[in-house]
Amino acid sequence: MKHITIMIIPDGASTPRQFHLPKAVVKIASVASMFGLSVAGFLVIDYLELIKLRQNVRAISAENEGLKGEARVLEGNLEDVKRSLRRVQDYASKLSDLTKLRVKSVSKETGIGPLSTEEYQRSTAQDLRAKESGSYLPVGLNIDKLAFRTVFEQLGTLGNSAERSAIELQQLLSTMSQHQNMLSSIPAVNPVNGWITSGFGKRISPFTGDQALHKGLDIASPIGTPIFAPADGVIVFTGAKEGFGNFIMIAHGYGVVSAYGHNAQNMVQPGQVVTRGDQIGTVGMTGRTTGPHLHYEIWVNGHTVDPKRFILDIEDTSSI
C-alpha cells in the first residue's frame, strides 16, 4: 500500500524519527484541515458581520430615540397650534354673535330686516364637507403602517379644523361686509344743523287748523344752511314737488328712502351716487311753509316712519 513517510529530526539526535502514514489518511487529514479552515473563515466573517449588525442596530436605536424626541416636540407644537386655532374659533364665534346682536338691535330700532345668509351658509357648509372628506396623506400611503401615525392623525384633525375656521371666517367676513353696507345705508346722522319744531305723527295743521298726519320732521335752520346726505345712496328725484317746493329723494337700499323738502337749492342730479356727509342742498322756504326749515322724511318699504328712530345725534326741541 502506498504510504507517506514523515521524518522528524530532533535537535542533537543522531537518527531521525520516521512515521509512515497511509496516503488516504493524509488526504483525509488535508480535506479535514481545509474544511476546518473554511468553517473557521465563515465563523470569523459571520462574527464580523454580527459586530457590524450590532453597531447598525445601536445606530438605528439611537436614531429612533432621536425621532421619538422630534415626534414629541412636533406633537407639542401641534398642540400649541391647536390651542391657537381654538382661540381663533372662539374669537370668530364671539364676533359672529356680536355682529348678529348688533344687526338685530339695528333692525329692531329701524324696522329694516337683517340680510338673509341662509343660502350662503348652505354653500359654505357644502364646501366644508368637501374639504373634510379629503385626505391629508399622499396617495398610496397607509396610515396604519406609518411610524408617526399619531402625528398624521393630529395633522388631519388640525387641517380639518383650520379649513372649518377659514370657511367660517370667510362667511363672517362676507356677513360683516354686507352688514357694513346695510349700516352705511341707514340714515343715522342729522341731515342739517338745526332744531326740531314739529315731530312725526298727528298734529294740528298750521294751514288748515285741522288735525293731520305729519309724515316727517321739520328742522328749523337759517336759509342757506347746508343739507347733507345722512347715509350712502343714489339720488332718485330732484325737482319741484307740490307743497314742498324744491324736493330731493335718496334711495339708500334695503327699502329705505329719505326725502328733503322746502330747499332753497338742490345741488344734486338724478342718478348721482352720494355718500354719508355729502352736501345735497341748502335750507330754504320754497313751497308752502311758515318759515325756513327742512322737511325731512324717511320711508321704509313704502311706509313713512319717524326719522328720529334713525338719527343718533339730533336734539328734539319741539316741546321747548
Give strand pairing partners of 296: 217, 260
pLDDT of the chain, 320 residues: tens digit per residue: 566 666 667 766 667 776 666 767 667 777 777 877 777 777 778 778 888 887 777 777 766 766 666 666 666 667 777 777 777 767 666 666 666 666 666 666 666 665 554 544 555 555 555 544 444 555 554 545 555 566 666 666 666 666 676 677 777 666 666 667 777 888 988 999 998 888 877 766 655 556 667 889 999 999 999 999 999 999 999 999 998 999 999 999 888 999 999 999 999 999 999 999 999 999 999 998 889 999 999 998 888 999 888 887 555 444 33
In 3D space, the residue among 65, 93, 235 whose CA is nearest the CA of residue 168 turns out to be 93
In 3D space, the residue among 103, 273, 244, 280 whose CA is nearest the CA of residue 186 turns out to be 103
Helix axes 23-110, 149-184, angle to 10 degrees: 20
C-alpha cell at 274: 352720494
Distance between CA atoms of residues 315 and 194, nearest Å: 9
May I ask the CATH class of domain 195-309? mainly beta
Contact call for residues 9 and 16 (beta carbons, < 8 A): yes
Render pLDDT for 1-45 as a digit per residue (tens, 0 to 9).
566 666 667 766 667 776 666 767 667 777 777 877 777 777 778
At residue 319, the pLDDT reads: 39
Across 61-79, b (16+ Cβ under 10 Å) vs e yields eeeeeeeeeeeeebeeebe
Render pLDDT for 274-299 as a digit per residue (tens, 0 to 9).
999 999 999 999 998 889 999 999 99
C-alpha distances out from residue 196 to 63, 193, 263, 283, Å = 84, 10, 16, 14
Contact call for residues 283 and 289 (beta carbons, < 8 A): no
Please enumerate in sequence order all residues whose Cβ is within 8 A of that of 54, keeping only pairs 6 or more positions apart, or say none. Answer: none
Give strand pairing partners of 217: 296
Rounded to 5 degrees, what angle do the CA atoms 139, 140, 144 make?
A: 115
Distance between CA atoms of residues 260 and 311, nearest Å: 15
At residue 119, the pLDDT reads: 47
Across 268-303, b (16+ Cβ under 10 Å) vs e yields beeeeebebeeebbbbbebbebeebbbbbbbbbeee
